[in-house]
Structure 1
Amino acid sequence: MTSNNITNIKYFVITGFPGLQPQYYGPVSVLLLLVFLAIMIGNGLTLATITFVQTLHKPTYLIFCNLAMTDLAFGTVTLPRVIARYWWNDVISSYIACFTQMYFVHALGAIHSLILLMMALDRFVAVWFPFQYLVLFTNKSVSISCALCWILTLIRMAGIVFNASTLPYCDVNVIMQCYCNHISITRLACGNRLAFINEVAIANAMVTLMFPLSFIIFSYFSIFIAVLRISQVERRHKVLSTCAPQLFITGLYYVPRSFVYIANNVGFHFSILARVVITMMYSLIPAAVNPLIYCFKTADIKQALIQRVKNAKIDINYLLTFISN
């Protein structure tokens, strides 16, 4: 802990879940490890299935691939650090490591938001402009769009994090969060530039969240209107079964995240523990749930997985027969 009015902080202390008693450290670290494994295995399976099954090389599934990559990366950036905090009581994060983590946390969150926007746009065009869909949404156009989402966001977030890193930090270096993010770090800062940097960061967050969310709400509202106009029950059910999982994913991502940002800016206060728990929920639950939605709610991916399992059984039976002979 530092004591000078203006300090040159070398490290930060990660609190984790405030008030958690030591006897619960083991169960919490095991739970977080299970969540980490679910994110890694589930999203890894999604990526592998779409990559190696030729019939899934379509624009919609390329978007799913990018969503799975953001979930994999986010889980890798955040969870090992939290698990180490409770497994080995490793509470120290160096200055550079903390700002590096903050960079990837916010960059991956912004990329995830843009990928969800692309997913909504994909469904919107498919429902309202089906004849133009094959022209507008090709593997090439989707790949380029997703690449731009990654590249431009990584560049944009570099400025936000650099500005935060240039602030002087005062008196304390304890982060009331499970990982380093902009709000928890800049609360420890001081100086005349603090208000301006926070305003820029909030404006950036609102653009990152609210612009995609506004279009997503509009697109799905338009899709539901289009569905009501479809006379064929089977086709109507197909459209709803495709859009409903994606809408569920979007809700999991945006609702708690928007609540935290809005509450923080309108002066609504709730306990630090509640803030940490809500942050962990909107950060990790979508990443763990997404593969279940892709694999069990998307007919093409589910069929591909079933076929792979059947082929594996055939190969095993053939091998056993060969060995027995």
Structure 2
Amino acid sequence: MAAFNLTHFDPSTFILNGIPDLEAAHIWISIPFSMFFLITLLGNVTVLFAVSKEQILHKPMFLLLCMLALTDIGMSTCVVPKALCIFWFGFKGITVDGCLTQMFFLYAVAAMHSAVLVTMAFDRYVAICDPLRYATILTNARIAKLGLVCLIQAVLLILPVPLLLRRLPFCANRVILHTYCEHLAVVKMSCGDTTINRMYGLVIAFMIIGLDLTLIGLSYGLIIRAILRISSKKSHQKALNTCTAHICVMLMSYTPNLFSTLTHRYGQGISAHVHILLANLYLLVPPMLNPIIYGVKTKELQLCDKVGKYTCRM
């Protein structure tokens, strides 16, 4: 294609290649991409709608669930529309500023998503380990403040990423072997010294995956200790059920993220299209399944019943 004639590259533009070695299958790959995206939007918007309309759901746990839904929508929206433009229309060009903007919003939303999961783990810890003080420790106002802290932390943590990339010189070959502006994929195109960029990328990976997982693990360690002290089997089961949905969401969020990060950095023997498919599935599958899991596992949030009730009123 003319787009790949390196002599005609616009120096202010990158080319998103899509999924290498699978260009012929882009149309077929776009089918699950678009389906997952639509289900993600429908499920998470439904959660937001149900919580906003039902007064009984105006509680800390469900406010956190709304934050999770917003981050799920944000992560998918940062990636899928551009990916579909590549698959359907071959619109592979993206300006350098557009690329860095996409990168900033994607990683900032992902960092906030992780911070919300940590806050949800703390919510479950208080609910099980100190239930009598739950209403005084976790008020709606306090949850809103924690959400603001999560947002500020995510912005401050991710903002240096595009700023550090902006100072780098890029080579003539500006083809990004990805469907979106993934950090390492952009770093690899630079002809300059990328040591600081790579080191800061490791710092972010440690902060988002390592530190957040440690805090979640600590919360659940204390929760398990509290559950083991409960003598009543019924109370034992009830305490476990309150954590089931969060554990499922947490495993779905961190497992593919951790695997994708490790394979991208250390899996040189793995094909490029496998790396990229894994990176995309991390941004597509958990946001799609999260509202389904909470809708099934949380009795107060029966999505079908809530939506049906408000649909009948209209």
TM-score (norm 1): 0.89
Unaligned runs of 5+ in 1: 317-325
Say which SS state the counterpart of residue 190 (structure 2) adopts.
coil
Residue aligning to 1:249:
249
Residues 102, 135 of structure 1: CA spacing in aligned structure 2 closer, same or farther, 3 A cutoff? same
Say which SS state the counterpart of residue 300 (structure 1) adopts.
coil
Report deviation, 1:282.
1.3
Residue aligning to 1:36:
37
Report deviation, 1:94.
1.4
Residues 86, 268 of structure 1: CA spacing in aligned structure 2 closer, same or farther, 3 A cutoff? closer
Report deviation, 1:273.
1.1
Larger radius of gyration between Structure 1 and Structure 2 = 1
Residues 98, 143 of structure 1: CA spacing in aligned structure 2 closer, same or farther, 3 A cutoff? same
Across the two proteins, how many residue pairs are aligned to each other? Answer: 310
CA distance in 1, matches of 2:80, 2:210: 26
Contact 2:15 2:175 in 1 (8 A): yes
Q: Give the letter for the 1:17 counterpart.
A: I
Say which SS state the counterpart of residue 254 (structure 2) adopts.
helix
Residue aligning to 1:229:
229
Residue aligning to 1:213:
213
Aligned: 1:50 with 2:51: yes
CA distance in 1, matches of 2:12, 2:179: 19
**Which deviates more from structure 2 when the two are superposed, residues 288-297 or residues 262-271?**
262-271
Report deviation, 1:263.
4.2
Aligned: 1:176 with 2:177: yes
Match of 1:10 among 9, 12, 19: 12
TM-score (norm 2): 0.92
CA distance in 1, matches of 2:43, 2:27: 24
CA distance in 1, matches of 2:306, 2:227: 31
Which whole-Å deviations, capped at 9, do the CAs of 1:88-127 have from their partners, x for residues lacking one? 1111111111111111111111110100000111111211
Residue aligning to 1:195:
195
Q: Give the letter for the 1:156 counterpart.
A: L
Percent of residue pairs identical: 28
Report deviation, 1:256.
2.0
Which whole-Å deviations, capped at 9, do the CAs of 1:258-306 have from their partners, x for residues lacking one? 223334455654221111111112111110000101211111011x752
Q: Give the letter for the 1:309 counterpart.
A: G
Residues 8, 30 of structure 1: CA spacing in aligned structure 2 closer, same or farther, 3 A cutoff? closer
Contact 1:8 1:168 in 2 (8 A): no
Q: Give the letter for the 2:21 counterpart.
A: G
Residues 312, 195 of structure 1: CA spacing in aligned structure 2 closer, same or farther, 3 A cutoff? closer
Contact 2:63 2:140 in 1 (8 A): yes
Residues 20, 218 of structure 1: CA spacing in aligned structure 2 closer, same or farther, 3 A cutoff? same
Contact 1:98 1:180 in 2 (8 A): yes
Residue aligning to 2:97:
96
**Which deviates more from structure 2 when the two are superposed, residues 138-147 or residues 85-94?**
85-94
Residues 160, 288 of structure 1: CA spacing in aligned structure 2 closer, same or farther, 3 A cutoff? same
Say which SS state the counterpart of residue 270 (structure 1) adopts.
coil
